[in-house]
Amino acid sequence: MQRQEIDARGLLCPMPVIRLQQAAPACDKGDELDVLATDPGVRADIPAWCRVHGHEVVEIREEGYTIRVRVRIGG
């Protein structure tokens, strides 16, 4: 399993999801992507994207002004 960070801080919807969507195809099943964002919309947008594409939100955590959304890539 590998873990990668996607820095989407300062970007507004839909860009954090687009960055995640661009990175996902290069990942293997079980890899994790951490999306770092400042747009509070990622709390709903990324879980919705994961439901549609068969991935899993492992956690959503606030770190100061940054929201970290950890996604596990599904099959």
pLDDT in tens, 4-63: 999 999 999 999 999 999 999 999 999 999 999 999 999 999 999 999 999 999 999 999
How much is the pLDDT for 13? Answer: 92
Q: What are phi and psi of 59, to 5 degrees?
A: -165, 155
* Domain spans of the chain, in order of start: 3-72
User: pLDDT at residue 1 above 90?
Assistant: no
CATH of the domain spanning 3-72, picked from 1.25.40.420, 3.40.47.10, 1.10.10.10, 3.30.110.40: 3.30.110.40
> Which tokens is 2 given?
């590998």
Contact 20, 6 (CB under 8 A): yes
- Is 50 known to be catalytic? no
Q: Whole-model pTM above 0.85?
A: yes
pLDDT band at 75 (very low <50, low <70, confident <90, very high): confident
Catalytic residue chosen out of the listed positions 11, 13, 15, 36: 13
